Amino acid sequence: MTYLILDMPRKWQVYDRLRGVELSKERFQFIFKYEHDLEEVLKKRVWTFNEWSIVIDRWVIEIAFDPEKPQSKDYVRVKVNFDVSRPVRRSKDKCPLLIQMLKDKANARRQSILNAKCNTEPVLKESDPLLGIITKEQVGPDPYSGRLRISPEVMQDMRLYLLPAQGPECKAREERVKQSILDLKDD
């Protein structure tokens, strides 16, 4: 009877658009790729194979699954519909809940790093010669990157530049440091 599965698609002229399955010695199931092919075969309900009559009928069984109800058969046939416009593979990367969770983790980590940098010792101390020249906002950490706006090496060079000067030379050097900081503000 396996010849029936191979021969009927030829008679119906739907060679590669259906699949046949032998359910038992007397029953076969044909799964059509397109609805219009199935309807055309069903228009003429009786077909012949090896001089035997074959009755074709459409059957659809939809059973709601109840996990509390015992199963009397060893198998359960289910119909699974996939949206082919949204492939299943790589669904881990596409899951909106997972993406949101990863974003929240990254934001929390970024915020903890920024808080740790902000809670460190102040950049300008009371005894620092740069205290009245540069504001804390100019030397503090950048809120976007978390890095100090002026590197510690540059701060040390500015201190060394200001320390030896006295009198009017000290005022001139303070003005030069302020001006260089203002010039670099937009850089």
- Buried b / exposed e across 42-68, counting CB within 10 Å, b at 16+? eeeeeeeeeeeeeebeeeeeeeeeeee
**Sequence letter at residue 135:** T
**Residues in the chain, pLDDT under 50:** 91
Nearest Cα neighbor of 12 from 50, 58, 48 is 48
pLDDT at position 69: 61
**Residue 181 CB: number of other CB atoms within 10 A?**
19
pLDDT at position 105: 93
pLDDT at position 22: 78
pLDDT at position 87: 61
d(CA 100, CA 106) in angstroms, rounded, equals 10
pLDDT at position 90: 53
Pairing assessment for the beta strands 28-32 and 18-22 based on DSSP bridges:
antiparallel
